[in-house]
């Protein structure tokens, strides 16, 4: 595919250091991790992994078949009773030991993540720190969950609520934050007393396999299993298997639909964290410089390959020109480069050639639809799959670039004249993951936040997360809750036991 937009040369900072980012001999075994051990799969096919910053092949990873998923499910089934009976304190101590092990190996994990995804070291390090904190938080939450108090709610009958693990949970993760998205599932699922079979993205399995290697001595065999391979093969098998009690997927809407469909046959629970197209509603009284500075990070962090990214500016028409100028200044100063090109590199490549071409096709279509690039608008010279940080203006109403998830470094700017118009248009996309409102008017901020159809709404901020708070979408963004004590609820079942105490 050839994009119609011009390729910009010389804008990617290249590594000058010849030393590799990660020593090949430290790569984890490129096999499945089942029953506490790495092992080859039943099939013979492998899949090459590519470094998207350079286009070089890193290694080949086993491409699983349904029998591999079945073997991992059998291991998880065998382990579930003993693990489910452990005390919260015991599970909590194991989660803390996992957090410590990750912390001891944080540098290596960050470099491995950067190798597999091309992301800058500052992003990879943030991912690993976030993963560690997720395990620490869930270790505490496991011991401090609450529910309705035991008591007499019907005459002579004492009611007690038991919170139980579900059993075996199938997990499917995406490529944008490979270890972090895995940690968001693994930590609460184990904390709640379940066992796991996890299928990482076929493009980015390395840190998940490293996690298995690093924690193999901390978890009983079979409690945590990894099967590498394709979604429609391994993910599908996990979703349809009768001995999997729940399927949890973070990924695109199409993959979410596929697992929900497959899960329906066995009526298993489904937990979905899907795409997003987060609007920023910027009123005329907002601190425009703060909004532009915030969007520099919120729109372009992880190269915009971020489900909660601020992608869709709706700015009051009276301040649109001023805001756009501030935004272009901010975004124009982003440092784009290879992960080893310096600690100040802020933006890396797209994850793959296919995704790079998809984002470029979006840019071509946006420009054909009448939008103009106030900044960027095309590819950056290779090698690697780099795209220029882009700001699109003059976006016609309903244009695909402002409605569909592009998942690249692209922000659209549209204008509005009334608050009602801003809200209608903010809510008109099929997604409902995140949104932000920018105003100095406190009453307006509360009211608008309550009328935005999104699972997370920031006021005068965007893309700040906390392990204590839930992350979950509405509408097409799915219905699972990651992070916080709510995730523990999602991965547990509540049983009511009623004692007749009449005498
Ligand atoms: P993707 O849907 O292509 O893949 C995600 C995972 O699903 C992969 O492991 C893939 O192999 C698997 N998969 C694909 N088809 C499947 C099928 N038919 N059955 C079972 N599994 C299947 O998504 P991606 O490209 O890896 O990630 C980007 C998407 O993830 C974006 O839409 C993004 O918004 C979303 N995302 C959402 C969140 C969130 O918290 N809501 C977080 C990160 C990413």
pLDDT profile of the chain (503 residues), mean per 10: 72 86 93 98 95 96 97 98 98 98 98 98 98 98 91 97 97 98 98 98 98 98 98 98 98 98 97 98 98 98 98 98 98 96 97 98 98 97 96 96 98 98 98 98 97 98 98 97 96 97 95
Burial 18-31 (b: 16+ CB within 10 A, else e): eeebbeeeebbbbb
Cα–Cα distance between 313 and 292 in angstroms, integer? Answer: 10
Cα–Cα distance between 223 and 216 in angstroms, integer? Answer: 10
Cα–Cα distance between 378 and 360 in angstroms, integer? Answer: 7
Secondary structure class of 475 (helix, strand, coil): strand
238 C-alpha to ligand 1 centroid (Å):
15
Q: Is 487 in the pocket of ligand 1 (CB under 6 A)?
A: no
Secondary structure class of 412 (helix, strand, coil): strand
Q: Is 324 in the pocket of ligand 1 (CB under 6 A)?
A: no
Cis link prior to 367 (omega < 30° from 0)? no
Residue with tokens 């965007």: 462
Give me the residues paired with residue 38 across strands. 33
Q: Is residue 339 a contact partner of residue 119, using CB atoms and an 8 Å limit?
A: yes
499 C-alpha to ligand 1 centroid (Å):
45
Cα–Cα distance between 361 and 1 in angstroms, integer? Answer: 9
Per-residue model confidence (pLDDT) at position 229 = 98
Cα–Cα distance between 136 and 131 in angstroms, integer? Answer: 9
Q: Is 127 in the pocket of ligand 1 (CB under 6 A)?
A: no
Q: Is the dihedral of CA 93, 94, 100, 104 positive or negative?
A: positive
Residue with tokens 């979408």: 473
Per-residue model confidence (pLDDT) at position 24 = 87
Q: Is 445 in the pocket of ligand 1 (CB under 6 A)?
A: no
Q: Is residue 228 a contact partner of residue 64, using CB atoms and an 8 Å limit?
A: yes
Give the closest residue (by CA) to ligand 1 atom 43.
Answer: 307
Of ligand 1's listed atoms, the one at least distance from the Cα of 433 is 41
Which are the catalytic amino acids? Answer: 273, 307
148 C-alpha to ligand 1 centroid (Å):
35
Q: Is 251 in the pocket of ligand 1 (CB under 6 A)?
A: yes
Domains and CATH numbers, the chain: 42-274+479-492 (3.40.605.10), 278-466 (3.40.309.10)
Mention every residue, 6+ apart, whose C-beta is less than 8 A from residue 354: none
Give the closest residue (by CA) to ligand 1 atom 42.
Answer: 307
Q: Is 352 in the pocket of ligand 1 (CB under 6 A)?
A: no
Cα–Cα distance between 218 and 95 in angstroms, integer? Answer: 9
Q: Is 476 in the pocket of ligand 1 (CB under 6 A)?
A: no
Cα–Cα distance between 403 and 502 in angstroms, integer? Answer: 62
Cα–Cα distance between 479 and 193 in angstroms, integer? Answer: 21
Q: What is the dihedral of CA 11, 16, 22, 24, to 10 degrees?
A: 110
490 C-alpha to ligand 1 centroid (Å):
19
230 C-alpha to ligand 1 centroid (Å):
11
Cα–Cα distance between 401 and 268 in angstroms, integer? Answer: 36
Q: Is 250 in the pocket of ligand 1 (CB under 6 A)?
A: yes
- Residue 482's alpha-carbon distances to 236, 397, 401, 455, in angstroms, are 21, 33, 28, 11
Give the closest residue (by CA) to ligand 1 atom 36.
Answer: 251
Cα–Cα distance between 133 and 96 in angstroms, integer? Answer: 10
For residue 111, count other CB atoms closer than 10 A to its CB. 21
Per-residue model confidence (pLDDT) at position 1 = 53
Q: Is 232 in the pocket of ligand 1 (CB under 6 A)?
A: yes
Helical ranges in 216-348 per DSSP H: 236-240, 253-264, 288-298, 320-332
Residue with tokens 């001999």: 25
Per-residue model confidence (pLDDT) at position 17 = 75
Residue 278 sits at φ, ψ, to 5 deg, of: -70, 125
274 C-alpha to ligand 1 centroid (Å):
7
Which of 255, 306, 473 has most ligand 1 atoms within 8 Å of CB, for mutation?
Answer: 255
Here the tokens at position 74 are 């059998």
Tell me how many degrees the CA angle 353-227-269 measures, rounded to the nearest 5: 100
Classify residue 462 by its DSSP letter: -
58 C-alpha to ligand 1 centroid (Å):
22
Helical ranges in 192-278 per DSSP H: 206-215, 236-240, 253-264
> From the centroid of its chain, how far is CA 424?
27
Of ligand 1's listed atoms, the one at least distance from the Cα of 307 is 34
Secondary structure class of 378 (helix, strand, coil): coil
Give the closest residue (by CA) to ligand 1 atom 12.
Answer: 231
Helical ranges in 279-398 per DSSP H: 288-298, 320-332, 353-368
Of ligand 1's listed atoms, the one at least distance from the Cα of 251 is 30
Give me the residues paired with residue 170 across strands. 197, 247
H or E segment at 71?
A: helix 66-85
Residue with tokens 């979950």: 472
- Residue 417's alpha-carbon distances to 317, 423, 424, 451, 453, in angstroms, are 6, 11, 12, 17, 20
Q: Is 201 in the pocket of ligand 1 (CB under 6 A)?
A: yes
Per-residue model confidence (pLDDT) at position 2 = 61
């Amino acid at each position: 595919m050839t994009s119609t937009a011009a390729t910009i040369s010389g804008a990617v900072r290249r590594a000058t250091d010849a030393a590799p980012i990660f020593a090949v001999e430290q790569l984890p075994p490129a096999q499945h991790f089942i029953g506490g051990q790495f092992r080859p799969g039943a099939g013979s096919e492998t899949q090459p992994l590519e470094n998207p910053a350079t286009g070089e092949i890193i290694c080949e990873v086993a491409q699983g078949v349904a029998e591999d998923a079945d073997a991992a499910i059998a291991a998880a089934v065998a382990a579930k009773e003993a693990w489910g009976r452990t005390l919260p304190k015991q599970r909590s101590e194991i989660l803390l030991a996992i957090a410590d092990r990750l912390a001891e190996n944080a540098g290596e994990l960050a470099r491995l993540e950067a190798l597999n995804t091309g992301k800058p070291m500052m992003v990879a390090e943030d991912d690993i720190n976030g993963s560690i904190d997720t395990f620490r938080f869930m270790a505490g939450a496991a011991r401090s969950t609450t529910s309705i108090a035991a008591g007499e709610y019907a005459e002579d009958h004492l009611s007690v609520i038991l919170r139980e693990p579900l059993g075996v949970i199938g997990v499917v993760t995406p490529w944008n934050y490979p270890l972090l998205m895995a940690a968001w599932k693994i930590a609460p699922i184990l904390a709640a007393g379940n066992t796991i079979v996890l299928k990482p993205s076929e493009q980015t399995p390395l840190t998940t396999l490293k996690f298995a290697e690093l924690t193999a001595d901390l978890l009983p065999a079979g409690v945590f299993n990894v099967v590498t391979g394709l979604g429609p093969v391994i993910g599908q098998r996990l979703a349809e298997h009768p001995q999997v009690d729940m399927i949890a997927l973070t990924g695109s809407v199409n993959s979410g639909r596929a697992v929900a469909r497959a899960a329906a046959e066995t009526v298993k629970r489904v937990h979905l964290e899907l795409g997003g197209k987060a609007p920023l509603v910027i009123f005329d009284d907002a601190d425009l410089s703060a909004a532009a500075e915030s969007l520099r990070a919120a729109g372009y962090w992880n190269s915009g390959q971020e489900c909660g990214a601020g992608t869709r500016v709706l700015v009051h028409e009276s301040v649109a020109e001023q805001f756009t100028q501030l935004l272009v200044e901010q975004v124009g100063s982003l440092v784009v480069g290879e992960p080893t090109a310096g600690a100040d590199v802020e933006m890396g490549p797209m994850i793959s050639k296919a995704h790079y071409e998809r984002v470029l096709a979006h840019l071509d279509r946006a420009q054909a639809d009448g939008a103009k690039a106030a900044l960027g608008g095309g590819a950056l010279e290779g090698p690697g799959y780099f795209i220029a940080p882009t700001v699109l203006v003059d976006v016609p109403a309903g244009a695909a670039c402002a409605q569909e998830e592009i998942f690249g470094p692209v922000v659209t700017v549209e204008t509005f004249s009334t608050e009602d118009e801003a809200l209608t248009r903010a809510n008109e996309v099929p997604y409902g993951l995140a949104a932000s409102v920018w105003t100095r008017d406190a009453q307006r901020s509360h009211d608008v936040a309550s009328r935005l159809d999104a699972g997370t709404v920031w006021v005068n901020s965007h893309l700040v997360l906390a392990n204590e708070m839930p992350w979950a979408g509405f509408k097409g963004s799915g219905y699972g809750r990651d992070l916080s004590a709510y995730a523990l609820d999602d991965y547990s079942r509540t049983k009511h036991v009623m004692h007749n105490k009449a005498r």
